[in-house]
Chains A and B, each alone.
Chain A
Amino acid sequence: MNIVVCVKQIPDPADPPAMDEAKGTLNRNGKLIMDDSDSYGVEMALQLAEQAGGGEVTLVSMAPNNETSGLRTALAMGAAKAVLISDEALAGSDALSTAKVLARSVERVSPDLVIAATESTDGYTGTTPVQLAELLGWPSVTFAKKISIADGKVHVQRQTEVGYDDVECPLPAVVTVTAGVVEPRYPSFKGIMAAKSKPVDQLTLSDIGLEASQVGAAGAGQKVTSVEAAPQRASGDIVVDDGDAYQRIVQFLQELKLV
């Protein structure tokens, strides 16, 4: 069972990047880390490969400046190797351009299964993985809260508005996972040391056979036209509970004629 996990490397959400108002894109010059949302996919892939009794977990990532720090975290968790696409022409890529790049990278590995997160922390379009599936010509199952593999099929509990559906899908396929699908492990010291020497295949656009005009800002077909401060909501009465503060809530609801 060979599995590819899409790993997005993003600025630390605890230290968010500023919007570059002139360019209308996010400033992504600082160090990047693995998107927390992808740690679930990495863990799930490691467990599925182990249950299948063998096979490798390969990471694919598209990131600026040959950034590998986020990939090293996932390699330290136990992934075997990574494919990284980095190219100046990719700046300003939208989800579709990203999916085109990821599709070419996945094709180099030809896995049985691709796992991505339902949505990324910084972009949260939630469309990249399905675009990737369509580019590969594969089925996809999004919003997985549980995954198992049996008889060449992936079985997924897929979240719905009212609960979940059991979905069955032949491989190869793309599956997106939600937080909570598994508990990601912390990399061990040994894992961190081992990750330093694991192979990261660093490629450019021409290596994967894409033209600069098809991707990046050139291929995006959309632009940010303004960024403004949102109107603030004024805060109201703050009351410290003395045992009777619940009455203030009752009164408030009565004024709204809700009780």
Chain B
Amino acid sequence: MTIDRILVIAESNDGQVLPASLELLTEARSISGKVDAIAWGKDTASLAAEVGSYGAGRLFDVGDIGESLPGPYVASVIATIVNSENAPSIILAPTTYDCRDIIGRLSVKIDRPVITNVVGLDQEGDTISSSHVLFGGSQIATAQFTGQMPWIFVVKSKTFTAEPSNGQPAEVISMQAGDLGTTANASIVSHHVETQSGPKLDEADVVVSGGRGLGSQEAYSMVEELAELLHGAAGASRAIVDSGWVPYSRQVGQTGKTVKPTVYIACGISGATQHLVGMKGAKNIIAINKDQEAPIFSVADLGIVGDVHQIMPKLIEAIKGLA
């Protein structure tokens, strides 16, 4: 088996390809000269220039799926591509809600296994090794496919750095999903946006996160205020997401976002291994925790042992004073 074509799932939002998909297009073109993308939505063709500039030669267009969930449609189209002369050797998908749905269905349709939670890909000739974080980042495992292509990898965001290659707009190829039976019968009735201003959590240069040590939902406003002053994004530990203080979209860690900002400020977060895997890649880490023994201090460049309620208000005032 030789590595030939690579197909990247180009998920988009508001007419823009997600950074996580652009990262995968960048990686794909370093592995193979033949990169294709697949997208769905109202005006997919308008994405051709963007995916092309990141190296995709062709863009398979699933078309407008209305208010349906994309999983069954996109999986069906990819299965068609896999069974054609355009069959990819490798399929790369970002770790998003919809892409996991797509890949789960695809895996059954073409009877291929999937490797998920990928944080690195290494090519050696015609083999690809994927790396994975185990036990909260204390160990790194590498894995390989042993069976037939296509090999499907679901990759965590920020694993690669997106860089445009100034390629031509991709050639758009319209595709039609096959018979989906009842699998596509779920539909979105309404969208709810829980307002979030400022940069996105996984793209921000500064991330300020809060944990159970804040003591109450109200105290999270200090985290938001500090994040805003630093033109950053506000994040959270799972403990306060599960408690309903903040939406899941703010969660950093194994089952939340992976962030790699210039500076990460952890406020009242203990530093459980599942949290650490999501933020250990930050260039600088500052932690405030009243427990000197908290594991977060083992990764902090600057650790302050103290009470968030004492320290954060003074910090916020001091930064306001500098502005």
Contacts and interface: CB of A to CB of B under 8 A. Distances in A.
Chain B at the A interface: SS class:
mixed
Given A139-B186, A237-B301, 15 more contacts: A16-B135, A96-B108, A127-B103, A139-B69, A160-B97, A161-B96, A163-B194, A168-B189, A169-B187, A180-B242, A236-B300, A238-B303, A241-B304, A252-B301, A252-B302
A238 B305 contact: yes
Interface stretch (A1-9, A186-194, A203-211, A222-230): A222-230
Contact of B183 (A138, A180, A236, A253): A138
A249 interface: yes
A256 B263 contact: yes
A18 to B, nearest CB: 10
A162 B247 CA distance: 9
B138 A229 contact: yes
B254 interface: yes
Given A227-B139, A249-B304, A95 B113 contact: yes
Nearest to B132: A224
A258 interface: yes
A230 B140 contact: yes
A159 B244 CA distance: 13
A254 B247 CA distance: 31
Interface stretch (A65-73, A83-91, A128-136): A128-136
Contacts of B137: 230
B147 A224 contact: no
Interface stretch (B49-57, B213-221, B307-315): B307-315
Contacts of A229: 138-140
Interface string A111-141: 0000000110000111111110111011111
Contacts of B255: 118-119, 124
A106 to B, nearest CB: 14
Nearest to B306: A241
